[in-house]
Structure 1
């Protein structure tokens, strides 16, 4: 098939593109319209501005399926989170329905149902819009909701690996309580390929989660052990200092740490991996094997 993949140069998008090409598809990679296209199949686009279906219709000519892998952690003037997570994807989904593109795979996030953060609200809005189109029979939609996605090239993965190298680490309190189910990035990509192949009739929400949950502090400790290092001393940052550090992060738009991130870390990011494992054809990589399986 000819597949339009938005976010093709991002952490997850790169792995998805590779998996789709291995499966024999032709990938038309969405790239930022602020820089020149490098490949013949690159498709310039701007999720900050392309918030009307008319902007997407020309890009869907000859396209059989769409995969949306665009996402941001926080709101910035260059990448407003409401546009990037909700308005532009909704316009793309509407254009798919209008153009007759029947299959849409959308990568969302786990743990957004109970969260009041702007990140979660905008993610939920796009999910609901796509599910509404599917309920009307206008297209077939699959929404992937992954927990923490681990792999080389991921910002959060690099952060956790760097923390795991420290003999003493001072971590925010929520990292000792909130649970996650880490998943390898290449397995998320494999499931996207499956949804555009043998599992093409699978619809609805697919929770992408590893076989076992643990806290983020536990993940850091496990990553350290997987590197053959002696156990580290993990200390809890006092709540007042945690709040202060997050507010300081608010003043740095490029920083991943901010009050919104702190709020997101306050809730579990776990799910049922049954459908994910069914699409993989096996259990996912266990968190104890992430370095060997996804960091090489």
Structure 2
């Protein structure tokens, strides 16, 4: 059992990781900004630190391991940098000063020294801050993470079910290597306790490389529906989405839907090679999502 300080506990991956950490017997402290979310985490058996990565309003004192999931993926470049890059640097400084033994950070395969892509650049700066510290670390660079509650696959499923036609942004040939959130959780649990992963940057992804259009077709197959697909110019669609969202209209689109750069790991077998288990294919992830929806509908009925 370890004393763990967790950021991003209420995010997509965090919501799946928290119960897994508790089941493993770890004592979990979660950094949250919202008092309401703090109450929810306490009810699940966590201790809570109310604070913010963009300020010095938190302490990691007493923690043996820091698991860092928090990041801002889109928005104003200055805010992305404040949360993702500067927030990580502040967290690392606190961990170093207060005797934390290890930091595990969930990053992205898009991390790059390229200021023109704010999130990728901020993620790269965050990685640099972690690697420059004296604290032992593991960085997991992930491809797109999918599962119950994820915005990328969830957005495609929503469009497939609710819209008369489903847009394919750009050519539809951008390649992805979707990885299950349950497999990411397994990797995190192994990496925080196994010294083989110490001071390493590991790229993790699912067992399949699929184009965006192939992912849409797989969603159609899982939902047992057939919809017309239309190709939309990437730049025009992004402009329209931003305009709608400024007007207060929510859309199912997330930045991943607009990518022109492939989002893939070095090999489809990377998790099997490094962590010793075969990750779930996209069809299995979709089955898990749909099974959970059916279970929820039955419980409500």
The partner residue of 2:287 within 283, 286, 292 is 292
The runs of at least 4 consecutive aligned structure 1 residues that moved more than 4 Å come to 33-36, 252-258
In structure 2, distance between residues paired with 1:294 and 1:206:
27
Residue 213 of structure 1, CA deviation: 0.9
Would the alpha carbon gap of residues 9 and 111 (structure 1) be closer, same or farther in structure 2, given more than 3 Å must change? same
Q: TM-score normalised to the size of structure 2?
A: 0.83
What do the CA deviations read for 1:144-202 (whole angstroms, capped 9, x no partner)?
1111111112222321211232562123215x021110011111111111111235643
Would the alpha carbon gap of residues 253 and 32 (structure 1) be closer, same or farther in structure 2, given more than 3 Å must change? farther
Unaligned 5+ residue runs, structure 1? none
Q: What is the count of residue pairs matched by the alignment?
A: 282
The answer on 1:117 being equivalent to 2:117 is yes
1:129 aligned residue: 129
1:251 aligned residue: 246
Residue 267 of structure 1, CA deviation: 0.6
Range 147-156 or range 165-174, more displaced: 165-174
The answer on 1:161 being equivalent to 2:157 is yes
Residue 276 of structure 1, CA deviation: 2.5
The partner residue of 1:219 within 215, 218, 222 is 215
Residue 95 of structure 1, CA deviation: 1.7
Residue 99 of structure 1, CA deviation: 1.7
Unaligned 5+ residue runs, structure 2? 293-301
1:43 aligned residue: 49
Relative contact order higher in (CA < 8 Å, ≥ 6 apart): 1
In structure 2, distance between residues paired with 1:203 and 1:32:
30
Range 181-190 or range 21-30, more displaced: 21-30
SS at match of 2:70: coil
SS at match of 2:31: strand
Residue 210 of structure 1, CA deviation: 0.7
In structure 2, distance between residues paired with 1:147 and 1:262:
10
What do the CA deviations read for 1:202-243 (whole angstroms, capped 9, x no partner)?
3321212111111222112101202233x4321101456325
Residue 33 of structure 1, CA deviation: 5.2
SS at match of 2:229: strand
Assess if the C-alpha contact under 8 Å between 2:108 and 2:143 holds in 1: yes
Equivalent residues in 2 for 1:22-171 (5 A)? 22-32=23-33, 37-38=38-39, 39=42, 41-50=47-56, 55-56=57-58, 59-76=59-76, 80-113=79-112, 116-133=116-133, 138-165=134-161, 166=163, 168-171=165-168
SS at match of 2:72: coil
Assess if the C-alpha contact under 8 Å between 2:147 and 2:289 holds in 1: yes
Q: CA RMSD in A?
A: 2.9
Would the alpha carbon gap of residues 47 and 41 (structure 1) be closer, same or farther in structure 2, given more than 3 Å must change? same
In structure 1, distance between residues paired with 2:249 and 2:190:
34
Assess if the C-alpha contact under 8 Å between 1:185 and 1:294 holds in 2: no
Assess if the C-alpha contact under 8 Å between 1:6 and 1:68 holds in 2: yes
Q: TM-score normalised to the size of structure 1?
A: 0.84
Assess if the C-alpha contact under 8 Å between 2:152 and 2:257 holds in 1: no
In structure 1, distance between residues paired with 2:169 and 2:37:
40
In structure 2, distance between residues paired with 1:212 and 1:31:
34
Residue 247 of structure 1, CA deviation: 4.7
SS at match of 1:27: strand
The partner residue of 1:234 within 229, 235, 239 is 229
